[in-house]
Amino acid sequence: MKKKYFNLLLLAFIPFYCFCQQKQTNTSNKNELIVEVLEDGKIEDSKYKCNLFDWQIEIPSDFTITSKERIKQLEDKGYEAIKENSSQGKNISSETNVLISFEKEKYNTFVATYETLEGKKKMSFEEYKSFMFKLLEETYSGKGMKFDIVNNDVKLGKYDFNKIVVHLYHPKTGELFYTQEIYFTIINNHLYTGAVSYLNENLGAILTQNFIKSFK
């Protein structure tokens, strides 16, 4: 059997394919203790605490948790877009281990995934960076979108991340209307990915700073 490549954060495409709000847990009341046990961690007092490695992230006020069932439905649409438009689409795994996802005002989202590298096609981190950049570039080009894409290495806490930023532009006005920031690294022989996607720049700044702070 041919081994699949890493799952390439299909969730990065979720907001563009009609991300609808799922009001599962409201975290607007900071004084309220909320405990929700998840498979890979727990939500307690407005924080997601991962039990697979030492990481936790605050859920900002007025953001809502998105159910894994809803994420899977939307992830499938991203998977189809990759298969149709990228030369490597047929080799991509559609399985994702979602740690946490939250959102506000539709299309302003954060998603984190954690995927084992065992049994996946062997690639160096440098090869993976090039592969993911090309896959995103081909997918958006294939959809006929106006976009730009850049990447660079960043240090968050003790981890070395690669960061890809995609800007999507309105087809008629040429104005920027949507941004995706995708961060990924290797932690304990797993691929950890965090994605910030937003229409609202103020909410995007909140999500980005909140993510960066989670690794300090």
pLDDT, tens digit, 9 for 90 and up, residues 167-206: 999 888 999 999 999 999 999 999 999 999 999 999 999 9
Give the rounded distance of the alpha carbon of 100 from its chain centre: 10
* 206, containing H or E segment: helix 201-213
Structure tokens at 193: 């990915």
Work out the average pLDDT over 149-161. 96
Who wins on pLDDT, 190 or 4?
Answer: 190
How far apart, in whole angstroms, are the C-alpha atoms of residue 75 and residue 213?
27
Higher pLDDT, residue 211 or 18: 211
Long-range contact set of residues 42-49: C-beta below 8 Å, sequence gap at least 24 = 43/100, 48/99, 48/100
- % the chain with pLDDT above 90: 47
Whether the Cβ atoms of residue 46 and residue 30 lie closer than 8 Å to each other: yes
Average the pLDDT over 77-97 and give the result. Answer: 63
Q: Can you tell me which residue has the tokens 């992830």?
A: 75
| Three-state DSSP class for residue 95 | coil
Please name the residue that has the structure tokens 């995927």.
115
Q: Where are the beta strands (DSSP E) in the chain?
A: 35-38, 41-44, 47-50, 55-58, 64-65, 98-104, 108-116, 146-156, 159-169, 176-187, 190-198
pLDDT tens digits, one per residue of 46-70: 999 999 999 999 999 999 998 767 7
Two tokens, residue 165: 């930023």
State the pLDDT at residue 210.
Answer: 98
**10-213 topology per CATH:** Protein Transport Mog1p; Chain A (3.40.1000)
Tell me, what's the pLDDT at 81?
Answer: 64
Mean pLDDT score across all residues of the chain = 79
With bands split at pLDDT 50, 70 and 90, how would you rate the model's confidence at 83? low
Q: Residue 205 contacts by C-beta under 8 Å, 6 or more apart in sequence?
A: none
Q: Is the pLDDT of residue 12 over 80?
A: no
Burial group, residue 199, by CB count within 10 angstroms (0-12, 13-18, 19+): middle
Range with the largest mean pLDDT of 1-15, 32-46, 61-75, 184-198: 184-198
Percent of the chain with pLDDT over 70: 71
Whether pLDDT at 90 is above 70: no
Q: How confident is the model at residue 119 (pLDDT cuts 50, 70, 90)?
A: confident
In this prediction, residues 71-94 reach a mean pLDDT of 64
* 35 pLDDT higher than 50: no
Contact of 64 with 27, CB cutoff 8 Å: yes
Give residue 180's pLDDT: 93
* Angle value at C-alpha 32, between 21 and 197, nearest 5 degrees: 30
